[in-house]
Amino acid sequence: MFQPPAVSFSHMGLYVNDLERQERFFTQFLGFSVTDRGHLSTPNGPVQLVFLSRVPEEHHQMVLATGRPAELGFNTLNQMSFRVANLASLRDFFNAMHQAPWCHDITEVSPACHGNALSIYARGPEGNRIELFIDTPWYVNQPLREPFSFEQSDEDIWHWAHEMAKPLPGYRPRAQWVAEMKLKMGMP
């Protein structure tokens, strides 16, 4: 049986309609830096590209490319997910989605608890769904999505999330789940 060599995720590309608007969203709201930009001739015509990264070692983690069809019957991109450092950072993003100059570009803002993560889902400027999240210190079987409110204190959110997760199937410490996944994936 084929045993795939090791890979690690590096970057993704996103076709866009309005390159400047999307660049502004990814740089001003999500904190990416432009690492390069340019034009490329392709068999389907010229494409403008903007390369973005938040990590100095990666030339780009995201590339924005012109050429998204104006009428898109269905967007096959389910979501782009971004891990943040802590609940305070998640709350900062939630507040920015409602108060920052670009908030009119962000719709369908929805905080959710997955048991193993606390998330905010939203739609960006061209309707692509983004998720900003933090891991919790425990795991529960997925899928799970329970709404929560940032009107609560951080302490109350953590307490509620833990109490909600404890009786659910598969509940255990995240470290235990990670150890199980390492065994399942054949890693030491």
The pLDDT of residue 155 is 98
Residues 84 and 64 in one domain: no
Q: Tokens 């409602």 appear where?
A: 98
User: pLDDT for 43-63, tens place per residue?
Assistant: 888 999 999 999 999 999 999
The pLDDT of residue 103 is 72
Nearest to 47 by CA among 22, 63, 65, 32: 65
User: pLDDT for 60-105, tens place per residue?
Assistant: 999 999 988 877 777 768 899 999 999 999 999 999 898 867 677 8
Domain containing 164 — which CATH number? 3.10.180
Domain containing 21 — which CATH number? 3.10.180.10
C-alpha span between 163 and 159 (Å, rounded): 6
Q: Which of 20, 35, 68 is the last residue of a domain?
A: 68
Residue 77: φ, ψ to 5°: -80, 110
Tokens of 106: 């962000």
Q: What is the pTM of this model?
A: 0.86
User: pLDDT for 164-174, tens place per residue?
Assistant: 999 999 999 99
% of the chain residues with pLDDT over 70: 96
3-class secondary-structure state, position 100? coil
Residue 1 is assigned to a structural domain of this protein? no
Residues 127 and 56 in one domain: no
Q: Which of 41, 68, 95 is the last residue of a domain?
A: 68
The pLDDT of residue 5 is 59
Domain that holds residue 188: 78-188
Average of per-residue pLDDT across 159-163? 98
Residues 104 and 165 in one domain: yes
Residues 119 and 160 in one domain: yes
